[in-house]
Amino acid sequence: MLKVVLITGISGSGKSVALRLLEDSGYTCVDNLPVRFLHDFIASTREDGLERVAVAIDVRSPGEFDELPDVITALRAMGTEMRVIFLDASDNTLMQRYSESRRRHPLTDRLQQGGKSPSLQECIKAERELLAPLREQEHVIDTSDLTPGQLRAWMRDLIQADRAALVLTFESFAYKRGVPGDADLVFDVRCLPNPHYDRALRPLTGRDDAVAQWLSQFGSVETMIDDIASFIRRWLPLYMQDTRNYLTVAVGCTGGQHRSVYVTEQLARQFADHSPLLVRHRNQPPTEIP
């Protein structure tokens, strides 16, 4: 059965964030669809065999928004499974967001009279009056105190979407070449014993058995690995709850050859039950662990 999610609400309340979440969740999304095309669009997607579609409609649709409640009622009467989500926020929050984004309110030109542009407060007030009938009969989310991550999480729960698997990446790097730009968590292991000063081990890497055996004899190395692993285990559920799709844990030493590589490999082994899991070493392709 075709499932339709309609996103609407006050301009600046987070509709773009919500629509992107739906797109990432596998919905076919259309933004700013004119109300008069909604019925035909849904009929077309049903004929095409689509199962999940999402549409954003707001006051940018000229002259016909007041017809939307009746269109929704008619579509539901025809058996369309439609969830309408109305996003709202306080006036102060909206004004702050507009100030930060420096965007014009979509009603600015429509409310202009005698060459005089309305204030942002007047635009927000007019929009609330226009949307009041729809707000009163649909599900409302007040985004005033929500971060984008929280809004995405609320949207996921509301539409009962499957949470996307978080890609956990362990990456070794050399501090002398700089911290990787994709790093979310960075751990410095330069305090550990350095195989570089052993001439037999110098040309090898942390993936070689000789280096691994040399490093494993030190209690400080084992303690460092266990401490990093404990930190990640404790906080990983919260990163996943934040609807994050990727988490990169970067481990660095001076040259990025011995200690960071060994620690990275050991961490990957401890998290081998997480899928998908990637291991990266600079200038080498990532390795996916099933």
Detail the residues annotated as belonging to a binding site: 9-16, 58-61
Cα angle: 141, vertex 146, 148; to 5 degrees: 100
List Cα–Cα distances, 45 to 5, 51, 56, 81, 84, in angstroms: 13, 8, 15, 13, 18
- For residue 110, how many C-alpha atoms fall within 13 Å in the half-sphere facing its CB? 15
For the chain, give every domain's residue range: 3-159, 167-281
Find where tokens 């669009």 sit. 41
Nearest partner of 98 among 117, 124, 125, judged by Cα: 124
Q: Which CATH superfamily is domain 3-159 in?
A: P-loop containing nucleotide triphosphate hydrolases (3.40.50.300)
What's the pLDDT at 262?
A: 97
Question: Residues annotated in the binding site for GTP, as ranges?
Answer: 58-61
Q: From first to last of its 290 residues, what are the pLDDT tens digits of the chain?
A: 788 999 999 999 999 999 999 999 889 999 988 888 999 999 999 899 998 999 998 887 655 777 888 888 899 888 888 888 899 998 999 999 998 888 888 888 788 887 788 899 999 999 999 888 888 777 888 898 888 888 888 888 777 655 567 889 999 999 998 888 778 999 999 999 999 999 999 999 999 999 999 999 999 999 999 999 999 999 999 988 875 678 999 999 999 999 999 999 999 999 999 988 989 886 544 454 44
Chain position carrying tokens 């099933």: 290
Annotated binding site for ATP: 9-16
